[in-house]
Amino acid sequence: MCRLRNSFLSLLLAGISVLQPVSALESKKLQIIEVPRDFMLDGVVEAVNKSTIAAQTGGQITEIDFDVDDYVEKGQVIVRLKDSQQTAALTAAQAQLKQAETAFKDARDTFDRAEQVFEKGAISEADMDKITAALKTAEAARDAAAAGVEQAREQLGYTKITAPYNGIVTERHVQVGEVAAPGTPLMSGISLEELRVNVDVPQSLIPVIRENPRGYVIGPKGQPIMAEEITIFPYADESSNTFRVRLELPETEGGFFPGMYVKTGFIIGMEKLLLVPGSAVVNRSEVTGVYVIDEETGKVSLRYIRTGRLFPDGNISILSGLNPGETIALDPIEAGVAAKRGSGAKEDE
C-alpha cells in the first residue's frame, strides 16, 4: 500500500513539474518609436548590363554554343565564325613583318658602316643623308608590318565571339550557316547580377530626395532592400512633371528580373509608430498575431493584430491590436508552448 502511494505521488509530482515553467520567456515592452516616414511609388527593374553583341569581322557562322535563356559566363565563346580568311591574312602579315625586319637589319648595318667611314671623310654628306633616310624608311616599314600583324591577329580573334559579362541570353539573331558582316547583330543578353530600378517621382518630392537621398525597394519576399546609390536625372518629363530617379540595388539572392514592377519607397521625414520585431509575429491561417504577456499574472496569450510595413531593420509597424506599455514575447515558439502550460517571462532591455 505504501509502495502504491509512493508511485502515485511520484506521478503527481512529475505532472506538476511539466506544468511549471522551465525557463523565463524573453520579452519586450512596447513603446512608441520615431522612425523614418516614406513615400511609396511604383518602379521598373532594369539590368545595368544589357547589350547586343555584333560581329566585328566577316565570315560564315560555323557554331552557336548558346540559345535563349541559357546562362553564359564571362569569357565563354558564344558564336564562332569561319576563320580561314583571317588565318591566311595573319600568315601573310607575319611574312611581311619578317621581310621588313630583314630589310631594317640590312639598312641598319649599312648605316653603321657608313657612319664609320663618314667620320674619316670617305663619303660625302649627301650620301650619308641618303643612307640615313633609307634606315628611317626601313624602320617605318618594319613598324607598319608589325602593326599589320597585330591587326590581322585581332581580326582572327574576332572570329571567336565571347561573352562580355555573366548573363542570360535574351535573343539569338542568326543561325548556323549564315554569313555575318561587320556590324551584324549576333546575340543579345542581360546580366542579373547588377540591377537597378527607375522611378518617376513627382517634382514636389525632388528637393526632399536631393537633401536626403535614401530609398529602398520591396523585394520578392516582401523584405525592403536599401538602395546603394540614388541618381536624380537633371530634367523633368513635360507631360507628367515628374523626374526620373534611379536606385542602384545591391547583389540579391534573386527574384528580380528586368521589366518587373516593384514597390519603391523614399524616406522623406520622420513619424512615430508602435513597432514589434518581425520575428515575434506569427501567422495563423489568415490572421496575424503576437504573444502578449500579462505583467501581473505572467499569463501568455495570443493577440490578433493588424500590421503595417516592414522596416529594413526587421521591425514591423502595428496598426491595431497592441498598445504602448504592453509586453510581448520575442520567441513565438516558446511563447506558444508557455501559453498552453503557463509560464513566466523576463523583459528584454
Give the Cα separation of 72 and 169 in Å (integer): 7
Please report the pLDDT score of residue 348 as a whole number. Answer: 47
Please report the pLDDT score of residue 274 as a whole number. Answer: 92
* For range 80-95, the mean pLDDT: 94
* For range 206-213, the mean pLDDT: 92
Give the Cα separation of 307 and 292 in Å (integer): 15
Please tell me whether residue 332 adopts helix, strand or coil conformation: helix
Q: Which helix (H) or strand (E) holds 124?
A: none
pLDDT in tens, 307-324: 988 877 788 999 999 999
Please report the pLDDT score of residue 66 as a whole number. Answer: 94
Tell whether the model's pLDDT for residue 99 goes beyond 90: yes
Around Cβ 184, how many Cβ atoms within 10 Å? Answer: 15
* For range 21-50, the mean pLDDT: 84
286 vs 95: which has the higher pLDDT? 95
Give residues with Cβ within 8 angstroms of 269, minimum separation 6.
Answer: 36, 37, 208
Q: What would the CATH number be for the domain defined by 83-158?
A: 1.10.287
State phi, psi for 59 to the nearest 5 degrees. 160, 165
Please report which confidence band the pLDDT of residue 15 belongs to, taking 50, 70 and 90 as the band edges: very low
* For range 59-80, the mean pLDDT: 94
* For range 254-277, the mean pLDDT: 89
Closest to 32 measured CA to CA, from 270, 271, 272, 269: 272
Give the Cα separation of 20 and 9 in Å (integer): 17
* For range 147-171, the mean pLDDT: 93
With 0-12 CB in 10 A as exposed, 13-18 as middle and 19+ as buried, what is 251?
exposed
Give residues with Cβ within 8 angstroms of 332, minimum separation 6.
Answer: 279, 280, 281, 282, 290, 291
Please report the pLDDT score of residue 253 as a whole number. Answer: 63
Give the Cα separation of 180 and 164 in Å (integer): 19
* For range 244-257, the mean pLDDT: 85
Closest to 248 measured CA to CA, from 227, 263, 267, 232: 227
pLDDT in tens, 106-141: 999 998 888 888 777 778 888 888 989 999 999 999
Tell whether the model's pLDDT for residue 61 goes beyond 50: yes
Around Cβ 133, how many Cβ atoms within 10 Å? Answer: 11
298 vs 18: which has the higher pLDDT? 298
CATH topology of domain 23-34+273-347: 2.40.420
What percent of the chain clears pLDDT 90, i.e. is strictly above it?
Answer: 59
Give the Cα separation of 20 and 18 in Å (integer): 5
Closest to 296 measured CA to CA, from 333, 334, 322, 327: 327
Question: Which of 12-16, 80-84, 154-158, 278-282 bottoms out in mean pLDDT, i.e. has the lowest?
Answer: 12-16
Pick the CATH number of 58-81+160-190 from 3.40.50.1980, 2.40.50.100, 1.10.760.10, 3.20.20.30: 2.40.50.100
Pick the CATH number of 39-48+192-269 from 3.40.30.10, 2.40.30.170, 3.40.250.10, 1.25.40.10: 2.40.30.170
Around Cβ 306, how many Cβ atoms within 10 Å? Answer: 12
Please report which confidence band the pLDDT of residue 12 belongs to, taking 50, 70 and 90 as the band edges: very low
* For range 329-343, the mean pLDDT: 82
Please report the pLDDT score of residue 11 as a whole number. Answer: 34
* For range 86-99, the mean pLDDT: 94
In the chain, where the domains are located: 23-34+273-347, 39-48+192-269, 58-81+160-190, 83-158
Tell whether the model's pLDDT for residue 10 goes beyond 50: no
- Amino acid found at 89: A
Give the Cα separation of 171 and 54 in Å (integer): 12
Contact 33, 275 (CB under 8 A): yes
pLDDT averaged over every residue in the chain = 86
